[in-house]
Chain A
Amino acid sequence: MAPTSAQKTSAQKIVAEAAGRKTVEPGELVTCRVDLVMLHDSGGPRRVAPILERLGARVWDPSRVVLVSDHYVPAVDPESARILDLTRRWGRTQGVARHYDMLGICHVVLAEHGHVRPGLFVVGGDSHTPTAGAFGAFAMGVGASEMAAVLATGEIWLEVPETLRILLLGRPGPGVVAKDVVLALCRRIGLGGAGYRAIEYAGDGLAGFGMEERMTLSNMAAELGGITGLIPPDRHTLAWLERAGVSLDPAELERWRSDPEAPVGETVRLELDGLAPQVAAPHSPANAAPVDEVEPVPIDQAYIGACTGAKLVDLRMAASVLRGRKVAAGTRLLVAPASARVWREAAADGTLATLTEAGAIMLPSGCGACAGYGAGVLAEGEVCIASTARNFKGRMGAPSSRVYLASPLTVAASAVAGRIADPRPFLAEGKPAEPISAEVDLVG
C-alpha cells in the first residue's frame, strides 16, 4: 500500500469530499454521501421498489436521482411493457423528475445532459457507471439491494481504493481509436486486472481524445476491473459541459486532479504509436490481438451499438469506412445509435444517410442486443463483430454464438468485407476517416 503523503490522487480527493473528511487513505473504510444516483429499468424500480417498501423508506432526495429506461425499450412483449410502465409510475410516485424514457442509454444520456461533472460522487445501478469518470466524476456501479440502501439513506460504504494509473503515451496512427486502446489494455492487464482499484488515465496521449472517445476509455474500466475510470478534466471537459448547459469555474478542474506527486499503487504504460487496430476474440475482451493476427473469419452480423460503441463519434467512424461502399452479401450490419440526440445529430450531418445507403439496418436506441435484451440477438453458431464492451459466452444470444469485439472502424470494415477486416486499407483508399480527436467532438 502506498505510504501516506500530503499529495493526493483524484480518487482520494473526491472520496474524502463525499465522506466529509479532510483526507482519506487507501484501505480506509468510509461512508460517502452520494451526489448523484442513476438507476435504469432493469436493475431499478422493479427491484428496488419492493425493498424500499419493506424498509418503509422513500427516496432520500429525488433531486439527486436520474432514472433512465434503456434496457427493455421499446417493449416487445407484455412483460417488458409491464417493467417500463412500473418504472414510469415509480418515478412519478417518488417525485423523480428526471426520467429519460426511451431517450438513450443511461451513461450517454447522463453525459449529454451535463449530469456528470468533475468531483461528483456518483452511484449507478449498472456496471458501466464508470463511464462518468471521463468527466472527472468518481462513479461506481452497484446492484439493486445496495441501490435501495443508497436511495433510502443517501449513503454508501466504501473501502478507499488505491489508484492504478494508466499512462497513454504518444499518438495513435490512422485507424486506431480509443476502443483499440482499451482492448489492448484488457489484453495487457487481463480481464479484471485492475482488482477494483480506481483507474486513472493520464499521459500526453489523452489530449488527442475528445470527450466521447474518453467515455469509451472510462466505460471499459468495468472490463479492466476498476471501481471507476477517472480522466483528469481539462478544456474539452469544460467545453462539453458548457454545451450541456453547465458552466463550471475552471478552478474546479484543478481542484479534482491528482496532485503531481500523489502516490499510486501501480503505473501501466501504453505506447499509442505503433498500436494496431485490436480485435478481441470470443469469449473475453482480454482476448484482444492486433487485427492482422486474427483469423479473418466470415461474419454473419456486424453490430454498432451500446454505451461503449454507438455515440456520434462511433457512428461517424463507421460512416467514414462505409461511405460509397456496401455491406457484403450474406452479412448484416445493425446500428443502434446510443441516444435520441445521437440520432438527431447523425441525421443532421448526413451520417445516417451514409450508413443506410451502405445497407445498415437501423435499430432503436437502447442497450439492445449487447446484453441479449433487445433486437439483434444471435442464432446458434452465428458469428458477430461488435463495437460493444463484452463478448462473454451466450451474452448476445445463443450459447454457441461467437462475438468479436472491435472499434466501429473495424466493425464497419468487417461488414463490407464480410469477414474480420483491418480498417486501415479502407482509410488509405482516398477515403480518410474523420480525425479521431476533440475536433470531431460534439463540442467542436
Chain B
Amino acid sequence: MSLLVRETLQQLPAVILPRLIQMFGNTTPLMLTDIRQHAHSGNLLAMSQAAHKLKGSCISLGAEHMADICKTLQHKGEIGDTSNINTLIAELEAIYPQTLQALEQAT
C-alpha cells in the first residue's frame, strides 16, 4: 500500500494542484479531529461519515494509504465494530504529515 499514487495526481489539471493540496492541508486536521472525537464519544455513525468525507479527499488526491484506513474506519463505523479503531485513528494521524509532505513534493 503506497502513501501516494502519483498517477492520480498526474491525471488532474496542473493548475489546480497547489490549491487542492493547500485545501487538503487546511481541511484534513479538522476531519481527523472529528473522527477522533466521534470515536471517543462512541458516535460511530458520525465517525463513519467523517471518515467517508476524508476518504473522498484522499482518493481524489491519490492518498491511497489514508483512503484505505478511512474506508476501514467507515466500514467499522457503519457496522458498529469498535475493535482497533483507536489504533487505526492513530495510524491515520501518523501518516497524515508524511502524506501531505509527499503531496507537496509531488507538485
A and B interact physically? no
